[in-house]
Amino acid sequence: MIVGIMGAMPEEIDPILKRLENVTKHEIADNIYYTALYGSLDLVIAYSKIGKVFSALTAATMIERFGVKKMLFSGVAGAINPELRIGDLIAATKLCQHDLDITAFGHPYGYVPEGSVYIEADPRLLEVAATAARTQGVKLRRGIVATGDQFVADEARKEWIGETFDADALEMEGASVAVVCDALKVPFFILRAISDAADMDAGFDFDAFLQSSALKSADFIFTMLDELDRAQ
């Protein structure tokens, strides 16, 4: 089976690459894709760069050029749900685009004709993730993740996104990856570590968090890979 692993930033895939042997680099469309074998799984790994366009391009390339059959995405997100705390892991049950707005034509926020407001994650991969969480003894939350080409720092905007889409967390790539995978019939899973929340303080160091969360997320992804390998 060919499994794709994506992040948005180099820091999000580096811990994964460091645990693999005989990694091969491929330069395509101004990006670098890495391939390696892990057990019985052929892995294709890349960071997309930030935003919906780059993440859609990367996901489509991984599927069309490398034949990826399942897609795993790992990265960070901001909390909307007040129950989420820094460092919490959340698996997206479905995703939406909070910045997609053609309400002037009578459509709801996030909707585009011949599409839908939400794209649902693969239930089988969500169960694999639940098994991985039990194996690791970590708490994995589930919820709705909203995506947009905006770094949202305004509390009023966050509240609006939460109320409009019933969203729990906020990021910049997940829904575009979901749209590509859904259109190309590739099961996908989106994992996010919460990087900012209502309880954060002025002493918070994002760079340090990114490094630690990338290690934690990589461990989780490898546990999922072990489950997929066993199921082969």
170 forms beta bridges with: 78, 146
Which of the residues 196, 219, 227, 229 is marked catalytic?
Answer: 196
Sort strands 89-97 and 119-120 into parallel, antiparallel or unpaired: antiparallel
Helix 10-17 to helix 206-231 angle (10° resolution) is 50
C-alpha distances out from residue 132 to 103, 123, 164, Å: 40, 14, 31
Q: How far apart are CA 93 and CA 198, in angstroms?
A: 22
Which of the residues 12, 88, 171, 182 is marked catalytic?
Answer: 12
Q: How far apart are CA 116 and CA 113, in angstroms?
A: 8
Q: How far apart are CA 54 and CA 50, in angstroms?
A: 7
CB of 54 within 8 A of CB of 147? no
Q: How far apart are CA 192 and CA 141, in angstroms?
A: 10
DSSP 3: E
| 196 catalytically annotated | yes
| 166 catalytically annotated | no
Structure tokens at 132: 């991985």
Q: Which residues are catalytic?
A: 12, 196
